Amino acid sequence: QSQFVESGGGLVQPGGSLRLSCAASGFILDYSAIGWFRQAPGKEREWVSCLSMSGTTTTYADSVKGRFTISRDSAVNTVYLQMNNLKPEDTAVYYCAATASRARVPDCPRSNDFVYWGQGTQVTVSS
């Protein structure tokens, strides 16, 4: 059974950092494009970042560019979202997502292209 388990959320002060992790089992992340999304209370889910299947292309939403970094560690089949200089407006439930293995998708797939989703982890930025 394929699973995508998230961890790393929490409460942090403005300007602080967190690293979110998503550990995959039952499928190999090297064969998937990866995405991170978030959903704040009362708002629609929004895309945050993506990593191409090849691992060579990263893309970020303008709101997080220069502060967040997406990465993948093949040795432990895990993806990460390093979040620095966090702001109150970054408060949301964060979700990782992966495409099906070797699927023909763009380097930064659309939301509907992702088939594996993490359970979500809460990030709260507040003083």
Give 79-88 pLDDT, tens digit per residue: 999 999 999 9
Predicted pLDDT at 101: 87
Distances (CA, A) of 83 to 20, 21, 39, 86, 95: 8, 11, 16, 7, 14
Residue 48's pLDDT band, with cuts at 50, 70 and 90, is very high
Higher pLDDT, 111 or 124: 124
Q: How many helices (H) and strands (E) does the chain have?
A: 0, 11
Nearest residue to 68 via CA among 40, 89, 43: 89
Predicted pLDDT at 115: 94
Residue 2's pLDDT band, with cuts at 50, 70 and 90, is confident
Predicted pLDDT at 38: 98
